[in-house]
Chains A and B, each alone.
Chain A
């Protein structure tokens, strides 16, 4: 039991950045094809990060790197708790701490672009958080536990009873993956009205670390998607992985088919989705479980 846990933690720590990086590379490749371009090599994200690590070390304040370091540690920690089979709520709370520190890092620069980015990031957090919490609660109500290790061995697939929550989760995943139409606080695209938003004042190694944390985070979020299909069998696992891949490409498709929307839309739509799909699904769970 403990050995299994340690193996999955180590596997996560080593493999997640590779998987996340390759997914980011595929993202760029597929996006390029959708736009009729050839696109960079699949390994391009790794080259980018390596290049960032070789840049001259500069910063705008003495404290900002500290905040980013806490961010990186806590993002990775949240994934570790998830893959160690820990408590879903704890995973989310640790992730919230991480996000808070990234936002404070941006604020600490006292730079206008970074601050507007930070505030938009805050708005995004407020937009997606209710749905994320309801996702955890949905698993708890259906599987009787918040712990990933219990949910994953459940005998029936949570997907159908949690279908509303699944739809809601997919919706906010667009915000979490920083995809259009909700890439308000920072974007990977060139068309960015806020320079680089949240990350405007980060550079070099610091920026590289943020990129790597983003990969870690994405893998963990796909882990959530996987949980909807886990039923303790190999087939469940295969379906889960397939759906994760489909989900990711679905998000890329969304990214390429929508323009960036206003923050009002992001906020309202995320809350309405949470209210409609999340709350109704939870209500139904009370009736059927």
Chain B
């Protein structure tokens, strides 16, 4: 209990200190120490609860509820105010509806519902805490160097970095609270704080675009928050409880009924996990400084959304419409976000679509709700957090050094910034290639999809996987190109950035080597408790051994043979005579012609607009049908009682 509270409050205290520290040096020291402490305490927490697999905490304190209520009311007033100020009335409207609704509920009915355990820790929360504590705090360290450059590029603007770091640390604290709250009202509180934090981070630069995108994120997440609040209301009124654990326990008997609040909670998860039709907020978040993207995509925000759905998995499944809604929204989003990624040349947008697609896979796994699907889902969360943060932070560094985040400008990055390009290639390989992590989980997901008996999902994952390979390999190829006449330009990379890159690279490889242990000691026991019975690992032991051997072989071969050759180097073939520099050839009339190589984006097939439209419409349809059926069931249920 102590360590959990520490992990919630320590980042918040640090945040307050950072808010008043204006000096670079002081900030450097505080952030580094805080990051180290948070990471260390996360590991300590994992070790403490590792043996017994978790614990419930009553954490009774009436005062906490009132404090939370007061903060919620204050935040609602704030949202109403800025909504009106920026003429984003929808944001104000959502705040006007949901906060009073929930406060009214708490003061009247909620007050009488006895809550046994307000907080808990189980193996899933431990995994989440490790991700938040390690990956999240690494990103804050990276942000130190990055934000120095950022301020340097925007030197005519006031230095708002104290605010930036304040929000980042608040975010980390709120995330820990979110994954350890058993009382849904508490979880809602943290949920709203993460929504607001991402609003602040996205709108950080205060440009018009940033403000608009920040409001889009806020409005969509408030819509999800409204779903959350309605879910709480139904849970309290119909089932007489506010506890997640009780809800899941009732669900094991009355699955059909519990599916009703579950659908609303899942809806909240879907908005936060940026599933279609809500994916545009995550793409809009790209206007923020890169550490923000890394944080939102890997260890916070969207992971809160999928965490919710993974939590609900036992009451979802093919058996009820809440489950079918969730799995179809996830599946459709996976497919169309993957398609859209092909058409992008902006590196951050490729990463964003890939995140949305992977979240889609995780959401689908949660929706299927079998032990093996959840295994795949949680593995995806782990691998994705590490790999995606690595990729974002690489792109951030590349952007500051080559002045562009466009993949087409990364020609010959391997010559210009060899270290960074290798890190990026490892990250990309980690996203889709055997023997790296994401592929392992995708493999498990595929098996789970087939076993679920949903033929549409089987088709979706087959086509989606093929397209995934396409857009990643073409990016890798771009990086790997050896372009003649380029100079090294990586002298100015901050040492914090390189340190974080290296750590994440090591983590990427390490989680691939250690995943059998994570599975055996954390995930399988968790699944056995949640789903009952004996859960086996989805991948057989010999397949895992082959994977691990493959990694070893790759690392070994790269170390031994990479870039070593005794062969004579000759110029490339250019049809017209190569002028000797590998960049120009002799054209007609003896004119030297320079060639340019550009990648293939298949705009006419995978155009972003078209994909978002189709995916958005299909997902909206699924949501309307799913929620509609749930509301219908609820009304008939209440009518029957009356």
Give the interface of A toward B (CB within 8 A).
Answer: 56-63, 65-67, 69-70, 73, 77, 81, 86-87, 89-90, 93-94, 96-97, 100, 103-104, 106-115, 118-119, 122-123, 125-130, 133-134, 137, 140-141, 146, 195, 200-201, 267, 271, 274-275, 278-279, 282-283, 286
- What are 27 inter-chain pairs, A to B, with CB distance below 8 A? A57-B566, A58-B570, A59-B569, A59-B570, A60-B570, A63-B563, A66-B562, A67-B480, A69-B557, A70-B557, A73-B557, A86-B546, A87-B540, A97-B433, A97-B434, A104-B473, A108-B480, A108-B482, A111-B573, A111-B574, A125-B473, A126-B469, A133-B461, A134-B459, A201-B572, A267-B605, A278-B462
Q: How close is B426's CB to chain A, nearest CB, in angstroms?
A: 13
Question: B381-419 toward A: CB 8 Å interface, digit per residue (1/0)?
Answer: 000000000000000000000000000000110100000
Q: Is the CB of B572 within 8 A of A126?
A: no
Task: Name the contact of A104 in the complex, choosing from B411, B470, B476 (C-beta under 8 A).
Answer: B476
Given contacts A61-B482, A97-B434, A137-B462, contact A119 B600 (CB under 8 A): yes
> For B480, what are the chain A residues with a Cβ–Cβ distance below 8 Å?
63, 67, 104, 107-108
Question: B467-509 toward A: CB 8 Å interface, digit per residue (1/0)?
Answer: 1011001101110111110000000000000000000000000
Given contacts A96-B433, A108-B482, contact A130 B466 (CB under 8 A): yes
B residues 439-482 in Cβ contact with A at 8 Å: 439, 443, 446-447, 450, 453, 455, 458-459, 461-463, 465-467, 469-470, 473-474, 476-478, 480-482
Q: Is the CB of B570 within 8 A of A66?
A: no
Given contacts A118-B477, A134-B462, contact A59 B600 (CB under 8 A): no
Given contacts A94-B550, A100-B469, A104-B476, contact A62 B569 (CB under 8 A): yes
Q: Is the CB of B572 within 8 A of A60?
A: yes
Q: Is the CB of A279 within 8 A of B481?
A: no
Given contacts A57-B567, A58-B570, contact A108 B481 (CB under 8 A): yes
Complex alpha-carbon distance, A133 and B459, angstroms: 9
Q: Is the CB of B546 within 8 A of A90?
A: yes
Given contacts A90-B543, A137-B458, contact A104 B477 (CB under 8 A): yes
Residue picked from A108, A127, A275, most chain B C-beta under 10 Å:
A108
| CB-based nearest A residue for B585 | A112
Given contacts A66-B562, A115-B597, contact A96 B434 (CB under 8 A): yes
Complex alpha-carbon distance, A108 and B433, angstroms: 18
Complex alpha-carbon distance, A102 and B359, angstroms: 30
| CB-based nearest B residue for A81 | B546
Q: How close is B550's CB to chain A, nearest CB, in angstroms?
A: 7
> For B554, what are the chain A residues with a Cβ–Cβ distance below 8 Å?
70
Q: Is the CB of B462 within 8 A of A133?
A: yes
Q: How close is B316's CB to chain A, nearest CB, in angstroms?
A: 20
Complex alpha-carbon distance, A69 and B554, angstroms: 11
> For B569, what are the chain A residues with a Cβ–Cβ distance below 8 Å?
58-62
Complex alpha-carbon distance, A29 and B546, angstroms: 40
Q: Is the CB of A65 within 8 A of B474?
A: no
Q: How close is B177's CB to chain A, nearest CB, in angstroms?
A: 39
Complex alpha-carbon distance, A2 and B596, angstroms: 54
Asked if B564 is at the interface (CB within 8 A of a chain A CB), the reply is yes
Q: Is the CB of B572 within 8 A of A111?
A: yes
Asked if B639 is at the interface (CB within 8 A of a chain A CB), the reply is no
B residues 538-556 in Cβ contact with A at 8 Å: 540, 542-543, 546, 550, 553-554
Q: Is the CB of B412 within 8 A of A110?
A: yes
Q: How close is A52's CB to chain B, nearest CB, in angstroms?
A: 14
Q: Is the CB of B469 within 8 A of A129?
A: yes
Complex alpha-carbon distance, A87 and B539, angstroms: 10
Complex alpha-carbon distance, A56 and B570, angstroms: 12
| CB-based nearest B residue for A69 | B561
Task: Name the contact of B477 in the complex, choosing from A89, A90, A107, A275 (C-beta under 8 A).
Answer: A107
Q: How close is A260's CB to chain B, nearest CB, in angstroms?
A: 18
Q: Is the CB of A126 within 8 A of B434?
A: no
Q: Is the CB of A141 within 8 A of B466?
A: no
> For A278, what are the chain B residues with a Cβ–Cβ distance below 8 Å?
459, 462
Residue picked from B466, B542, B568, B571, most chain A C-beta under 10 Å:
B466
Given contacts A122-B470, A126-B469, contact A133 B446 (CB under 8 A): yes
Complex alpha-carbon distance, A282 and B461, angstroms: 13
Asked if B599 is at the interface (CB within 8 A of a chain A CB), the reply is yes
Q: Is the CB of A59 within 8 A of B568?
A: yes
Q: Is the CB of B570 within 8 A of A279?
A: no
Residue picked from B459, B476, B483, B540, most chain A C-beta under 10 Å:
B459
Q: How close is B96's CB to chain A, nearest CB, in angstroms?
A: 47
> For A106, what are the chain B residues with a Cβ–Cβ distance below 8 Å?
477
Q: Is the CB of A107 within 8 A of B546?
A: no
Q: Is the CB of B463 within 8 A of A130?
A: yes
| CB-based nearest A residue for B476 | A104
Q: Is the CB of B567 within 8 A of A274?
A: no
Task: Name the contact of A122 in the complex, choosing from B447, B473, B575, B595 (C-beta under 8 A).
Answer: B473
Given contacts A100-B433, A125-B469, A271-B463, contact A200 B567 (CB under 8 A): no
Asked if B582 is at the interface (CB within 8 A of a chain A CB), the reply is yes
Q: Is the CB of B476 within 8 A of A130?
A: no
Q: How close is B512's CB to chain A, nearest CB, in angstroms?
A: 13
Known A62-B565, A282-B455; 8 more pairs at CB < 8 Å: A59-B570, A60-B572, A63-B480, A69-B557, A104-B480, A110-B411, A122-B473, A134-B458
Q: How close is B299's CB to chain A, nearest CB, in angstroms?
A: 27
Q: How close is B106's CB to chain A, nearest CB, in angstroms?
A: 47
Task: Name the contact of B462 in the complex, choosing from A57, A112, A195, A274 (C-beta under 8 A).
Answer: A274
| CB-based nearest A residue for B558 | A66
> For A126, what are the chain B residues with a Cβ–Cβ distance below 8 Å?
466-467, 469-470
Task: Name the contact of A123 in the complex, choosing from B447, B470, B562 (C-beta under 8 A).
Answer: B470
Q: Is the CB of B575 within 8 A of A93?
A: no
Q: Is the CB of A133 within 8 A of B573?
A: no
Q: Is the CB of A110 within 8 A of B446?
A: no
Complex alpha-carbon distance, A58 and B558, angstroms: 21
Task: Name the contact of B443 in the complex, choosing from A89, A97, A100, A271 (C-beta under 8 A).
Answer: A89
Given contacts A90-B543, A119-B474, A129-B465, contact A110 B484 (CB under 8 A): yes
> For A128, what are the chain B residues with a Cβ–Cβ distance below 8 Å?
466
Complex alpha-carbon distance, A139 and B461, angstroms: 17
4 nearest CB pairs, A to B: A107-B477, A129-B466, A111-B572, A93-B434
Question: B508-543 toward A: CB 8 Å interface, digit per residue (1/0)?
Answer: 000000000000000000000000000000001011
Q: Is the CB of A195 within 8 A of B450?
A: no
| CB-based nearest A residue for B605 | A267
Q: Is the CB of A201 within 8 A of B462?
A: no
Q: Is the CB of B481 within 8 A of A110?
A: yes
Q: Is the CB of A286 within 8 A of B574?
A: no
Q: Is the CB of A110 within 8 A of B483?
A: yes
B residues 334-359 in Cβ contact with A at 8 Å: none
Complex alpha-carbon distance, A278 and B401, angstroms: 47
| CB-based nearest B residue for A70 | B557
| CB-based nearest A residue for B450 | A137
Q: Is the CB of A286 within 8 A of B474?
A: no
Complex alpha-carbon distance, A108 and B459, angstroms: 33
| CB-based nearest A residue for B474 | A122
Q: How close is B484's CB to chain A, nearest CB, in angstroms?
A: 7
> For A93, what are the chain B residues with a Cβ–Cβ distance below 8 Å?
434, 439, 443
> For B478, what are the chain A residues with a Cβ–Cβ distance below 8 Å?
107
Given contacts A69-B561, A108-B480, contact A279 B459 (CB under 8 A): yes
Q: Is the CB of B564 within 8 A of A62?
A: yes
Given contacts A100-B473, A137-B462, contact A65 B573 (CB under 8 A): no
Q: How close is A130's CB to chain B, nearest CB, in angstroms?
A: 4
B residues 571-607 in Cβ contact with A at 8 Å: 571-575, 582, 595, 597, 599-600, 605
Q: Is the CB of A113 within 8 A of B482?
A: no
Q: How close is A32's CB to chain B, nearest CB, in angstroms?
A: 28
Task: Name the contact of A103 in the complex, choosing from B459, B473, B572, B595 (C-beta under 8 A).
Answer: B473
| CB-based nearest B residue for A96 | B469
Complex alpha-carbon distance, A282 and B452, angstroms: 13
Q: Is the CB of B465 within 8 A of A87?
A: no
Complex alpha-carbon distance, A96 and B476, angstroms: 14
Complex alpha-carbon distance, A125 and B465, angstroms: 11
Q: How close is A75's CB to chain B, nearest CB, in angstroms?
A: 13
